[in-house]
Amino acid sequence: MNKIKQIKIALYKIKEIIKLFFKRIVFKKNNECANFVLAEKLAFFVYPEYRFSEFGRIWLEDKKFFHYYEKYDKNNYHSADRKFFLKSLLSLIQNLYGDTAECGVYMGASSEIICEAIKI
């Protein structure tokens, strides 16, 4: 793709982002879905390889989970989805007999989830 075409595409994307900001500020369109669309467009502009998943992930509203998670790191949510998935998987095996193991422990956050699930 030539440089002129790349510049035109970038300008078009910037125009879309400015429109979304304008709607958010002037028309007070500040709902969760509008914020998600704006964040998605900004992220794609800054880091095109990043892929947003679907809107409306319920697990993000689990305050009890995030209270636990933030004990380990308040500024890094990179593994929050994996920790929540582990918690969800463990809820499926509560009535099964057996042992658990974790390999590669960093700060023990996953170990705490496992221990809490099996009530050690």
Whole-number pLDDT of residue 29: 62
- Same domain as 86, residue 34: no
Q: H or E segment at 73?
A: none
Q: What is the mean pLDDT of residues 91-115?
A: 86
Q: How far is CA 89 from the centre of its chain?
A: 18
Residue 85: give the domain boundaries.
58-118
Residue 53 lies in a domain: no
Same-domain status, 62 and 110: yes
Total structural domains within the chain:
2
Residue 51 resides in a domain: no
Residues 62 and 20 in one domain: no
Let me know if residue 28 belongs to a domain: yes
Percentage above 70 pLDDT, the chain: 94
| Residues 107, 68 share a domain | yes
Average pLDDT over residues 77-94: 90
Whole-model pTM? 0.66
Position 93 in a domain: yes
Instruction: Report the chain's mean pLDDT, rounded to a whole number.
Output: 83
Count Cβ atoms below 10 Å from residue 110 Cβ, excluding itself.
19
Amino acid 95: pLDDT: 83
- pLDDT grade, residue 89 (50/70/90)? very high
Residues 10, 40: one domain? yes
Q: Is the pLDDT assigned to residue 71 strictly greater than 70? A: yes
Q: DSSP letter at 71?
A: T
pLDDT at residue 120 is higher than 60: no
Contacts 24+ apart (CB under 8 A), 53-59: 56/32, 59/84
Asked if 32 contacts 54 with a C-beta cutoff of 8 angstroms, the reply is no
66 and 87 together in one domain: yes
- Beta-carbon contacts of 93 under 8 Å, excluding residues fewer than 6 positions away, are 117
**CA–CA separation, 32 and 80 (whole Å):** 20
Instruction: Please check whether residues 84 and 40 belong to one and the same domain.
Output: no
- Each residue of 2-30: pLDDT tens digit? 888 877 887 888 888 787 777 777 666 66
> Taking phi first (over 0 means left), then psi (-120 to 50 degrees means alpha), and beta for anything else, what does residue 108 get?
left
Average pLDDT (89-97) is 87
Separation between Cα atoms, residue 95 and residue 93, nearest integer Å: 6
